[in-house]
Structure 1
C-alpha cells in the first residue's frame, strides 16, 4: 500500500502525448503528483535537475538528446528515480538497452491510459518498498548506534574469555569503533570489597549508586592518563582494558584507582593486574592472569593491588606442617587446654606460611581445611553439632579471606576444648559421686584415700584434688563427716556406744568419743541423752 505521494515529470517531443498523459489522467488516485513537463530532451534534463522527481516518463527517442542519454546523465544524481520509457516498435532494441542500463520499465506505443497507469503504479510501489526499506535500515542504524556501548561491552566480555582469529578480532574491533588502540594492552580486574555483605545491609538503590560511583571514579582515573575501556562483569566486579605505553603503567593506574575509590567513595576496591600483551588474541590469557592475581586479596582482606608477575614465583604447594606441633595440638585439644591449643594452632599456621613468596590462596585454604579436620578428628564429640557445621561452612566459603579462616579455626579450637572440658567435668562428677557411694557403703572400714581413688580408676593425687574441687572437702574430712552423721542416726537408737564405734571403724570407744565431740560439740553419751530414746515413767 502506497503511503505517500510521489512526484513525476513527463517528457516527449510530441506535445499532444505530454498533454494527454499529464492532463487527461487522474494521477492523484495513484498518489502521483505531476510536477512538470517538457517537450525536448534538453528541456527534460533541465526540468529533472530542478524538480528531482521520483518518476520520469520520457520518450526514448528525441532530437538532440535521447531519453537514454538523459538517463545516463541523471542517474548519478538520482540513483533511485524510476525511468519509464515510451517506445515505438521500431525502438524496441533501444528499450531493451534502457532496461540493461537501469530503466524501471518501458511501454510501447500506442498505449492506453490504463496501461501507462499500471506501469506508473508499479514504479510507485517499488519506490514505496525502497522507502520503507530505507527507513527500516535507518532505524536499524540508529538502534545500532544507540546499542553500540552495550555491543562493545558484550564484545569485550567475550574477547577476554574466548580465543578467536586475530583478523576476526581486528575487524570486530574496527566495526565497534573502539576508542583505543588494539595494542599494547593490559587487563585489570577490580572488585568492590565485601560488596555482597554490604548489599544485604543497604537498599537496592544505594547498592546501585555505589557501583555507579566506583565505575565513574575508575573511568575518570584511567582517562586522565591513558585510553581504556571499563565494563561491568558482575554485581561487584569490573574489567578494565588499558592501552599501556607512553608512561602509562597498568599497575600504577590500578593503584591510583584503588586510592581514589577509598578517598571518594564509601568503599574500597581490590585489583589484579595482568602483564602487557601485544595482540588482541592474547587478552584471554591476560584476563586469567588478572583474575589469578586478584585472588591474592585472600591475604589482605581487600583494599590492595596484586601484579601477576609478582606472584609467578609462588610455591605451588605449602610445606607440610610440623608433625610434632600437630601432635601437641591434638594433646592440648583432648585435654581441653584452650589457651595452649590456640597458641599451637597459630604456630602451625605461621610455620607453614614461612615461604619466600606468598603461596597460592588455594593451597593456604587447603591447609586451613586440613587443620580444621585435625581439630574435628581430635574431638569426636563435636560430630553433628550445629556449631561445627557453621564453622566448617565458614571455612569452605569461597569469599573467606585468611583472617576469616584464622578466626574460624580459633573458634573451632575453643569449641573443641569447651566440649572436652564439659565431658571431663561430667566424668569428674560421675567419678566423685561413685566414690561418695563407695565411702558411704564402707564406713566400717578404715580405708585410705588411695583405696577410694583406685575404686574410680584415678590417681591418688588427681582424685584428692578433684574430690575437694567437687565437694569442697578433703577426702578425710568428708569420711569423718559421713561417719559422724551415721553415728548420730545410730545414737538415736539403743545400740551400745562401743558397738556403734566399732561399726564405724573405730576400735577404741574413747577415740570415737573424742572425734564425735570435736565434730558435734557433745559426747556420744550427751547426744544420746538429748536425742536418744525416752524411758517411760510408768
Structure 2
C-alpha cells in the first residue's frame, strides 16, 4: 500500500485532503499530516517515511520548496506533489527543476489529485508493490493509458496469472488488531503472490495470484489454513472465511473478489459453518452431474420468471432425488451452495444486488447442521420464494441499454486522453468494478481493448483521408504520446501508422 503524507498550513484544507478522498480505494493510506515543512521533517525524523508527500508551497517556518530541497538531501526516494493557490510560473518552474512529481493549482479536484498520486506511485514502487497498485487500479477502473504503457511487463504478467480471493468477516472487530502482526508476517513471506486488498477491523480481503492453477489453489488453501488457525485461537466462532474459485486473467479479478464477498452471506443460511469455498471447488456429490445441473437451471429460471408452481415442483423433485443419496443432508448442503452460487451470478449479471437480498432474508430461512431433510426442503423453499417475491417488486435493469449508453459515451470521448473506465461507469451510474465485469461479459472484450480498437479505427480513417501529421492524428484519437500511439496502432492493425498510410497513398 502506498504511504502518503499531507503537509498544508490551512487546517480545513489539510483535513479535506486527508478525509474526503477514499485513499484506501486507490491503494494508499495517509500515515501523517503536518502544518508546515518543519513539522513534516520532524515526523520524518521519527521514522514515519511516506512514499509520497502532498504539500502546499507557501507555508510558515519552512516552505514547500524548502522542504523539497531537504528531501533531495535526506530522503531522495520520496516523491512530492505540490498544490498551490498561486498560478506563478516561477514557482512551477522551480518545483519542476527540483524534481517535483506534479504541480497542481487550488482548488484541486479529487480526480486530479488521485491521478497525480497514481503517476508518482508508478515511478517509485518496487515490482511487488507496483503489482499491488496495478491490481487496485484495475479493480477501481482507474488504470489510464499512460500507466498501462509504463507497466506493460507487469500487465503481461497479470494477463497470464491465475487468481483466487480470500475474504474474512469478523463479528467482533475489537480483537482484530492482535492479528495484524501474524498476518503482515505471512504477507511478507508471500509478497509476490498474496496481495492485500483490504485490512479493516471487521473485514479483510486478499488476492492470490500464481503462474498456474494448481499453485494458486494450493496457496489459497494454505492461506485459509494459516488465517483460520490464527483467528480460532483469538476469536472462537466469531468469524467467517470465504474462498473463491481459481480464475484466469485480469478480467477475472473482479469475479474472484466479488464471489468471495458474496459468499459471506452464506453464514446467514448456514450459521454453523465458518469456512466457505465456492461450490465449484468441491467434488460434485451427485452421480449424474448433467441431471443435477439441469435441475439447478430449472430452479434458477423459476425464480427469475416468478413461477412459484415450477419452483416448488422442481424442489420436490430435487429432494426426492436427494433422499436416495447415501448422505442426503450433506448433499443438500452442497446442492444449496451450488444453487445459490449460480443464482447469484445470474442475478448479478442482470444488475441485481444479490448480496443485499440474502442480507435481508428472514432468519427462518437459515439452515442448521441438525436440520432434517424435510426441514431443509422447507427452508430452501422459503428462501427461494422470498427471493422470487423481492425480484417481482424490483424494476428491471435494462443491461443492454446501459451498455449502449456506455458505448455512446466512449464514442463521444475518444479524443479525450483522460477517458477511463471509472468515468464511463459514473456516466451510467454503476460501480466501476461491476461495470468492468458487465462490459467484458456483454461485449466480449475488456474496456481498454474496446477503447483502443475504436481509437485505432478512427485513426485509420483519418490516416487515409487526411494529410495531417501522425502525431496530430494520434492526439485526435486520444493519444498524447506519439510513441505510445504508434505502439497501440501496430498492435491492433498489424502496421505502423506510416505503413498504414502508405498502403492507401497513390504513387
TM-score scaled to structure 2, two decimals?
Answer: 0.31
Larger radius of gyration: 1
Greater length-normalized contact order (CA 8 Å, ≥ 6 residues apart): 2
TM-score scaled to structure 1, two decimals?
Answer: 0.30
